[in-house]
Amino acid sequence: DGGITQSPKYLFRKEGQNVTLSCEQNLNHDAMYWYRQDPGQGLRLIYYSQIVNDFQKGDIAEGYSVSREKKESFPLTVTSAQKNPTAFYLCASSIHPGAGDTEAFFGQGTRLTVV
């Protein structure tokens, strides 16, 4: 089945620790995105990537880092510089606009909690 796989489903981070969230897609999509969801707020864009080896900051990139070494993978690292990391993280992908359908598809999310 084609789709987006996020792992782990739950993640616990100690103070001062870096953690990495995994996102893999087999939809052959060019564009990939990371969003953060907090209660009572809309999803906010952290980082996005249009092609391999290229990525751009979104609206709330501080304290996060990403890489895009393969088309199908877009891992997100939450660094110790992110002061309020407890949230639900969602990865998404879409065919690069210009190819027609630009529907966005999402993974099942990773819930990160600081302990």
Partner 1 sequence: KQEVTQIPAALSVPEGENLVLNCSFTDSAIYNLQWFRQDPGKGLTSLLLIQSSQREQTSGRLNASLDKSSGRSTLYIAASQPGDSATYLCAVSRWNTGFQKLVFGTGTRLLVSP
Task: Show the site string, 9-48: x = touches partner 1 by CB under 8 A, - = not.
Answer: ----------------------x-x------xxxx-x--x
Inter-residue contact 26 to 73 (CB < 8 Å): no
Query: By C-alpha distance, which of 51, 48, 20 is closest to 34?
Result: 48
Inter-residue contact 11 to 19 (CB < 8 Å): yes
Q: Quote the tokens at residue 87.
A: 């949230």
Using CB under 8 A as the binding rule, whether residue 2 contacts partner 1 is answered as no
Query: By C-alpha distance, which of 61, 32, 1, 114 is closest to 22?
Result: 32
CA-to-CA distance for 98 and 100, rounded, in angstroms? 5
Of the candidate residues 63, 71, 80, 109, the single one contacting partner 1 (CB under 8 A) = 109
Which is nearer to partner 1, 48 or 64 (by Cβ)?
48
CB of 109 to partner 1, least distance (A): 5
Which is nearer to partner 1, 53 or 102 (by Cβ)?
102
Query: By C-alpha distance, which of 49, 33, 37, 48 is closest to 85?
Result: 37
Task: Pick out residues in 83-102 that bind partner 1 (CB under 8 A).
Answer: 88, 90, 92, 94, 97, 101-102
Residue numbers at the binding site for partner 1 (CB under 8 A):
4, 6, 31, 33, 40-43, 45, 48, 50, 56, 58, 88, 90, 92, 94, 97, 101-109, 111
